[in-house]
Amino acid sequence: MLKGAEHPLQRLDFRPVTAVPHSSTEAALRDAVDTALIDLLTAQHNPADRAHRELARAVGLLDQHPHIEIPADAANAVRTAADRLAEGSRDEARTALVAARSQLAAPGSRLNSRNTG
């Protein structure tokens, strides 16, 4: 290395990256999506009732908290699932819920922050 040259590792930031804690709103949204999806996938007796309630709760959370930190695609998929289920299209609702769940669980779906301490 040349004298006075900067070492290549000097510019790297080695502070650990941690996810911002989920808000209770985000946790409630994920819970509603999970419950609706599980009901549509596994329930034997009219799962659409509870799934419909959970999707209504999820859409309500999105309406009450428009700045919730989730991908726009996830919010759109939740709304699509609610619409499709209301129309009686369980398969399309389930497909939209799978998309929403994958967006909510995808790496980078939350904003990351650097530890400053």
CATH number of the domain enclosing 97: 1.20.120
Q: Is residue 87 part of a domain?
A: yes
Closest CA to 100 of 49, 64, 47, 61: 61
Q: Is residue 56 part of a domain?
A: yes
Does the pLDDT value for residue 23 go beyond 80? no
- φ/ψ (deg, to 5) at 5: -80, 145
Does the pLDDT value for residue 6 go beyond 70? no
Could you tell me what percent of the chain has a pLDDT over 90? Answer: 50
Q: Is residue 2 part of a domain?
A: no
Q: Is residue 3 part of a domain?
A: no
Per the structure, the complete domain to which residue 32 belongs is given by 22-108
Q: Is residue 75 part of a domain?
A: yes
Q: Is residue 14 part of a domain?
A: no
Higher-pLDDT residue of 71, 6: 71
Does the pLDDT value for residue 116 go beyond 50? no
Q: Is residue 15 part of a domain?
A: no
Q: What does the alpha-carbon distance between residue 59 and residue 63 come to, in Å, rounded to a whole number?
A: 6
pLDDT for the residue 96: 97
Q: What does the alpha-carbon distance between residue 99 and residue 69 come to, in Å, rounded to a whole number?
A: 17
Counting the structural domains of the chain, the total is: 1
Report the sign of the C-alpha dihedral through residues 51, 56, 61, 67, in that order.
Answer: positive
Q: Is residue 70 part of a domain?
A: yes
User: Dihedral (C-alpha) 33, 68, 84, 60: value to the nearest 10 degrees?
Assistant: 90
List, in order, residues 6 or more apart from 41 with CB less than 8 Å away. Answer: 94
